[in-house]
A and B are shown apart, each in its own frame.
Chain A
Amino acid sequence: MSDLYNVSSSSHIRSKDTSSKIMLYVVIALLPAAAFGVWNFGLRALLLILVCIATCVASEWVFEKLIHKKSTINDFSAVVTGLLLAMNLPHTLPIWQAVLGSVFAIVIVKMMFGGLGQNFMNPALGARCFLLVSFAGTMTSFTYDGVTGATPLALMKNGEGVDTMKMLIGTTAGTIGETSVIAILIGAVILILLDVIDLTIPASYIISFVVFILLFGGRGFDIAYLTAHLCGGGLMLGAFFMATDYVTSPITPMGKVVYGICLGILTGLFRIFGANAEGVSFAIILSNLLVPIIEKFTIPRAFGQKKEVKQ
């Protein structure tokens, strides 16, 4: 029986897309914001980015070696985690803290729960929150042009005015990758054009956040205040790059909208009523935890199915 052919269940052809290609697209889309961060904050920012990426990839490799699993570092997901984590750190953070955060992201948040696709929380944000709680001092000290100062959001929280033009371009204090709205939006357009994300989550997130600010911001319809809130902190980076993380967001179409609304409300809540000026990271990891419940209540109606009649 020499001339036997391959037999498998249909379909017999596969698209060219692979998971690693998608991850690579995300890395490419993050580059404008990362490059701006390096330009804005100097080579220290570049060092931090490289350290985070290297540590993430290395800890995934070592962990898989230790548990005798096939290495998955080729899928680039650890690179994405490292890059995202670095973008969420102030460029002045001590290197050892960045290393610790990277190990936490990969080993605790991702690998302990089964690796790629199994983590219920965004690894980069999980690590950021871990660092924020552990090293509140270094994590919230922002230096810009050699001067330690407050981020625009913190200024606003204290009732001071901010320059929204600078926030749009990104020449303000903040974490490495969050300051430039323009660079982030360029990345977002890349993600959308490459079909990596769609606008469901970012749009429902941003719209519900705007509604929340209008209702509870205490400034009424104040365009400058609103713009500052949209451009400030990690909102844009969070909405386009972290809330859209496949693994930790709902897969049901309706669930994505609900998830976006949860994010908008929580971010608004934390920013307006919380002790901190910033709230995106906590809003996202909290909403990550809601995903299974959201999915359970948003099972889509299949094609041709009648709406269920309540008896």
Chain B
Amino acid sequence: MGFMTFKGGVHPHDGKEFSKDKPIRDLLPKDELVFPVSQHIGAPANPVVAVGDTVLRGQKIAEAGGFVSAPIYSSVSGTVKAIQPRRGAVGDMVKSIIIANDGEMREVEYTPVKDVTSLSKEEIIGKVKEAGVVGMGGAGFPTHVKLSPKEPGKIEYIIANCAECEPYLTADYRRMLENPKELIEGMRIVLQLFDNAKGLFGIEDNKPDCIAKLQELTKNEPRMEVCPLKTKYPQGGERQLIYATTKREINSTMLPADAGCIVDNVETLISVYKAVKLGQPVMNRIFTVTGDAVAEPGNFNICLGMSYGEVLEAAGGFKVQPEKIISGGPMMGFSMFGLDIPTTKTSSSLLCLAKDDVAASETTACINCGRCVSACPEQIIPTRLAKMANHGDMAGFEKWNGMECIECGSCSYICPAKIPLAQSIRTMKKQVLAERRKKS
């Protein structure tokens, strides 16, 4: 097999052995669940319940605050205890709906669809929108917006992002092994929206069992194809995945749709399936608890709104006291200073590291070795950009294509001088964007 790939990238230790063979376990939440109203890119959702209201599992508790937004549903039955700011995984305070779980899991009645093919395109998108499906790989971009490009006829590829290139994470891997049919059905539903499109499953070759399984299940599907990818970070980066599977290139000013592509992650496609076929909104997701500090790493089917600490308990708590805990993977995840933080639609894992590489390494002078340049999947010059960023040279930063950075962190990882390059570049990108907004 000639594996598909992109130029650049790094090979960090993948750490997936901690949790890859642990089947998904269902977790029942305890007494309090927290639902931030902003779990997606776009306008925050507006609460439609009041303190004291009784809610059911699957009941809408906040409605979309605009077109680029998504509604939020309760994952348990109980009463609304409070609506107040709570700290999110990124560290900021977000307005949240707090629900006291009555433990009965009384559910609303869903309306499944017998024959999805009888639905019109608008009906499908409507159902996706209503169910609050967003990019569950971490970006949180509302899926109904992604599925409504200007010219649907020009979409040629629907790419399922099954790369899971972040080290340690195994949630998508378990999903592909345990629910491959739901994934394929999700793809089939999306393909129904785009008559000229082909469905591609991009999977890294460190998951040969998933490749084999999906190949077997799609062998009679003329519109679907499995694309084995070389195992390399960030193979699952949107631009890198599009390039690896279709050889088309997009930059920061383009959308995947400009290259005739739509990319959705495994969990998102399964949520699409549940939303359209079963009529169920997004209430659960697969979540990996892993790292060398966790007693019993594993993969869990969590009710959104549970705290990271609660899921950690299910994984046996800490084996040793970790120096760092991360929401997401080690390359692009967010480090958190506490565990009392709610899980959301975009929470893919809790990674607990006994040793913090960043604190342990001393930053020395850049020796211009160029390793960051070879590692950069965007083929820009991280060390120059970081220097310009630190000097506040906005013009130089833009001239050297700093805005093309996808913040994958490969440069920070590879740097022998241990310079936090991605951090400087990310900060400058934000400043440039703020400056642009001021001008317009």
Residues of B near A10 (CB, < 8 A) are 330-335, 407, 409, 412, 422-423
CA distance A303 to B413 in the complex (A): 20
Whether A118 pairs with B365 at a CB distance below 8 angstroms is yes
- Residues of A in contact with B, size category: 35 or more
Whether B422 pairs with A251 at a CB distance below 8 angstroms is no
CA distance A99 to B134 in the complex (A): 67
Q: Which of A72, A77, A251, A253 has the most CB of B within 10 A?
A: A251
CA distance A20 to B325 in the complex (A): 29
Residues of A near B81 (CB, < 8 A) are none
For the complex, would chain A's binding face be called helix, strand, loop or mixed by DSSP majority? loop
- Residues of B in contact with A, size category: 35 or more
Whether A12 pairs with B330 at a CB distance below 8 angstroms is yes
Whether A12 pairs with B335 at a CB distance below 8 angstroms is yes
Residues of A near B209 (CB, < 8 A) are none
Q: Which of A115, A300, A306 has the most CB of B within 10 A?
A: A300
Residues of A near B366 (CB, < 8 A) are 117
Q: Whose C-beta in chain B lies nearest to the C-beta of A13? A: B330
Contact bitstring A1-31, B, C-beta under 8 A = 1, else 0 = 0011111111111110111011000000000
Residues of B near A249 (CB, < 8 A) are 368
| Residue B193 interfacial (CB < 8 Å) | no
**Which of A3, A9, A22, A252 is B416 in contact with, Cβ under 8 Å?**
A22
| Residue B313 interfacial (CB < 8 Å) | no
| Residue A218 interfacial (CB < 8 Å) | no
**Which of B6, B10, B367, B381 is A19 in contact with, Cβ under 8 Å?**
B367
Whether A14 pairs with B358 at a CB distance below 8 angstroms is yes
Instruction: Provide 21 A-B residue pairs closer than 8 Å at the C-beta atoms, listed in order of the A residue.
Output: A5-B336, A6-B324, A6-B358, A8-B324, A9-B420, A10-B333, A10-B412, A12-B351, A13-B357, A17-B414, A21-B416, A22-B367, A75-B364, A115-B365, A118-B365, A247-B368, A251-B368, A303-B6, A303-B404, A304-B239, A304-B378
Binding site for A on B (CB under 8 A): 6-7, 10, 12-13, 91, 167, 239, 243, 249-252, 254, 322-326, 330-338, 351, 353, 356-359, 361, 364-371, 373, 377-381, 383-384, 399-401, 404, 407-410, 412-418, 420, 422-423, 426
Q: Considering the complex of A and B, which 6 residue pairs feature the smallest CB-CB distances, nearest first? A: A11-B409, A304-B251, A9-B423, A304-B249, A302-B404, A302-B401
Binding site for B on A (CB under 8 A): 3-15, 17-19, 21-22, 72, 75, 77, 115-118, 246-247, 249, 251-253, 295, 299-306
